[in-house]
Structure 1
Amino acid sequence: MEQEQDLNTPYFMIDEQKLIANLEQARQLKQLSGCKLVLALKCFSTWGVFDLIKPYLDGTTSSGPYEVRLGHETFGGETHAYSVGYSEQDVIEVADMADKLIFNSQSQLRAYRHLVEGKASVGLRLNPGVSYAGQDLADPARAFSRLGVQFDHIEPSVFDGLDGVMFHMNCENKDVDAFVHLLDVISERFGAYLNKLDWVSLGGGVFFTWPGYEIEKLAAALKAFSQRHGVQVYLEPGEAIITGTTDLVVTVVDIVENEKTTAIVDSATEAHRLDTLIYNEPASIGGASEKGAYSYVIGSCSCLAGDQFCEAKFETPLHIGQRLRVLDSAGYTMVKLNWFNGLRMPSIYCRRENGDIQSLNHFDYDDFKRSLSQWSVH
């Protein structure tokens, strides 16, 4: 049996026990509310642990054709297909795999619904004009948003034969009262349309596994919404399912001084934890202490000058060869891995409840080379 100290860094370690703890909260929400939950593959697509997740969730939801196929082939249950912009070939390919196919605009619905009818339930994304998102980049209701149909642009005739709609207006929403307010706005603004439908997806970004979150209050609001409009309600959790379950384990390869002390590790946010860089949200390091006497910038080994994980304090000095754990590194990490600088791609492991370590994936030079070209010009 492999021991973790023998694994080569960098690598992701998924903890089965922590994953199951989140899934049990998902089960509780389903039981109390009657809602269905589909895993958002845009956040987490590591299908090697789908067998652990399947008993708790109802299926998957996607943002592109390959995610549709992955959910259909490796997860099963309900397969929801959505894309901001489908090509005709995309629709043809996913229609036979999808249980629900959701269009982003009325023009795409008109152009392609004939390819879907008789195969999948047809849906349309609506933009409620309100949202809960910490950053403008991630706000679906931001100015000039291309995501979904605005209320004042709705053509009522498109609802003839429409089965359901999808709203997505949250990003890491830890405030149940804020979410309930959004539901009330949706009911008031769109209720006449919702009453004609079979199902409504309320999207993702509802952080119901956050410590102290009032799941019972959320469940009551979802149940009331479902009964008010006579619809089956769906949520599309991603981060809520895998939060706190996974560490990115790295090794300190050098320590340099330039007014601040930087510990350079064998990983990079640009390549392995991209959202840290995109959203300027510092990572957390296991074992760090706010009261520590030794301060470090945790810097990457990429050539990008501003590529760093965070600044952190420790009670004892770091040393070359020391391993660090970048905490909470599952959501929007493995789905965004890239080969920037030709850096070694992190392996992916799962620590099972019995302590065994299961290998899910390894990457090598051949993977890097193949991602760039399959043959050369002669």
Structure 2
Amino acid sequence: MIKNELKTPYFMINEGKLIENLEKAKHLKEVSGVKLVLALKCFSTWGVFDIIKPYLDGSTSSGPFEVKLGYETFGGETHAYSVGYSEDDVREVADICDKMIFNSQSQLAAYRHIVEGKVSIGLRLNPGVSYAGQDLANPARPYSRLGVQADHIDPTIFDSIDGVMFHINCENKDVDAFIGLLDAISQQFGPHLDKLDWVSMGGGVFFTWPGYDIDKLGAALSAFSKKHGVQLYLEPGEAIITKTTDLVVTVVDIVENEKKTAIVNSATEAHRLDTLIYDEPASILEANSEGDHEYVIGSCSCLAGDQFCEAKFDEPLEVGQQLHIMDSAGYTMVKLNWFNGLKMPSIYCERSSGQIEKLNEFGYDDFKSSLSRWSIS
């Protein structure tokens, strides 16, 4: 399979770049004793789990389908968490997960009888402190529904659970900031943690970011674990797959209305939703900030404000030219949708050998069957 003959749009996962991140994860485990479980809510493309599995300890989920996927395709430890379980959800995964983490004391009370003796039981706590760049992603924001606040906890509950989970980071690239959060949690919940077997610090710790001091993080995690006598977990998502994947698109038209817009055969609304939700412009591989030719990179959806970014180029763009929208793995493929009936990007992996492996492609039948399977007769 020849890369320049592939039809756009498509995602290309680079195995070599993925392994670079995984080697950093391996180093963190070695210096800290922490266990790492892949956050499937961020990345669920199981066709490359063969690359990831040797480095991590399992997977963690935010809903029953993710639990099943982790159990079937990843193996190792399978952690189940949901902001709101139904009884059917709990019964569906009780026999295939190793840990079940409840979001509230009421959910724990309602469903404990179903899972007791089958799984290690945990509870999510909300310490009221966090690190998040945007309020939308801040789990400690006012009126948060995520986890139990310290002043709401029944202290006796720690005698009947095995662990707790804190998820209080979002793209935290500051090791000192994270260590500060660890200290705050230790101070606030220390006597409770001393009774437990494990503590998960959730995801959002960007330890694979260039220049991140992994050894400093490892020392802090190791100290926390020894202080409270617990096995520590992190739930990396973006940290594992950051900078590994491009969304490759083609310029299909160029229009001008005071600014030039290159319309590509993709859309943030359908194929890179977080660009739209968080108003964070994408980055284009072919762009040059010093270039003389500036364009809006616009989508082909009908949403007026749907654009990837504004970028400068050394030469004028042309219809038929391909562009690589970088860092398009995390919270991207898991959010694909059929808005406007646009063609869903295919998914490929470029192996370290140079071989291009097709993981999935989508067509009209997938679009049609996602909306209805049976007609009313």
> What corresponds to 1:309 in structure 2?
308
> What corresponds to 1:103 in structure 2?
102
Return the letter of the residue paired with 2:208. T
Give me the whole-angstrom Cα distance separating, in 2, the residues matched to 1:141 and 1:115: 30
Return the letter of the residue paired with 1:103. F
Aligned length: 377
SS in 1 for 2:4: helix
List 4+ stretches of structure 1 deviating above 2 A. none
SS in 2 for 1:252: strand
1:31 aligns with 2:30: yes
Give me the whole-angstrom Cα distance separating, in 2, the residues matched to 1:225 and 1:352: 38
Q: Deviations over 1:309-343 (max 9, x none)?
A: 00000010000000000000000000000000000
What's the CA shift for 1:157? 1.7
Alignment of 1:245-260 (within 5 A): 245-260=244-259
Give me the whole-angstrom Cα distance separating, in 2, the residues matched to 1:268 and 1:354: 31
Give me the whole-angstrom Cα distance separating, in 2, the residues matched to 1:160 and 1:28: 34
Q: Deviations over 1:2-24 (max 9, x none)?
A: 11111000000000000000000
What's the CA shift for 1:158? 1.5
Give me the whole-angstrom Cα distance separating, in 1, the residues matched to 2:323 and 2:289: 16
SS in 2 for 1:37: strand
> What corresponds to 1:51 in structure 2?
50
SS in 1 for 2:129: coil
> What corresponds to 1:22 in structure 2?
21
SS in 2 for 1:355: coil
> What corresponds to 2:157 in structure 1?
158
Give me the whole-angstrom Cα distance separating, in 2, the residues matched to 1:158 and 1:193: 9
> What corresponds to 2:123 in structure 1?
124
What's the CA shift for 1:93? 0.9
What's the CA shift for 1:375? 1.3
SS in 2 for 1:353: coil
Give me the whole-angstrom Cα distance separating, in 2, the residues matched to 1:9 and 1:43: 23
What's the CA shift for 1:160? 2.0
Q: Deviations over 1:220-275 (max 9, x none)?
A: 00000000000000000000000000000000000000000000000000000000
> What corresponds to 1:356 in structure 2?
355
Give me the whole-angstrom Cα distance separating, in 2, the residues matched to 1:191 and 1:298: 50
SS in 1 for 2:353: coil
> What corresponds to 2:212 in structure 1?
213
1:236 aligns with 2:235: yes
> What corresponds to 1:224 in structure 2?
223
TM-score, with normalisation over the residues of structure 1? 0.99
Give me the whole-angstrom Cα distance separating, in 2, the residues matched to 1:69 and 1:26: 24
> What corresponds to 1:377 in structure 2?
376
Backbone CA RMSD of aligned residues:
0.4
Give me the whole-angstrom Cα distance separating, in 1, the residues matched to 2:374 and 2:72: 29
Give me the whole-angstrom Cα distance separating, in 2, the residues matched to 1:312 and 1:205: 28
Return the letter of the residue paired with 2:277. I
Return the letter of the residue paired with 1:176. V
Give me the whole-angstrom Cα distance separating, in 1, the residues matched to 2:286 and 2:173: 25
Q: Deviations over 1:147-205 (max 9, x none)?
A: 00000000012222200000000000000000000000000000011000000000000
Alignment of 1:69-148 (within 5 A): 69-148=68-147
What's the CA shift for 1:114? 1.1
Give me the whole-angstrom Cα distance separating, in 2, the residues matched to 1:290 and 1:371: 41
> What corresponds to 1:329 in structure 2?
328
TM-score, with normalisation over the residues of structure 2? 1.00
What's the CA shift for 1:96? 0.5
Q: Which runs of 5+ in 2 are unaligned?
A: none
Return the letter of the residue paired with 1:99. D
Return the letter of the residue paired with 1:374. R
Q: Deviations over 1:291-311 (max 9, x none)?
A: 000000000000000000000
Report % sequence identity.
77
Return the letter of the residue paired with 1:313. K
Return the letter of the residue paired with 1:98. C
Give me the whole-angstrom Cα distance separating, in 1, the residues matched to 2:70 and 2:17: 22
Give me the whole-angstrom Cα distance separating, in 1, the residues matched to 2:26 and 2:73: 21
> What corresponds to 1:281 in structure 2?
280
SS in 2 for 1:69: helix
What's the CA shift for 1:28? 0.1
Give me the whole-angstrom Cα distance separating, in 2, the residues matched to 1:72 and 1:375: 30
What's the CA shift for 1:287? 1.6
Q: Deviations over 1:25-69 (max 9, x none)?
A: 000000000000000000000000001000000000000000000
Q: Which runs of 5+ in 1 are unaligned?
A: none
> What corresponds to 2:8 in structure 1?
9
SS in 1 for 2:132: coil
Alignment of 1:161-176 (within 5 A): 161-176=160-175
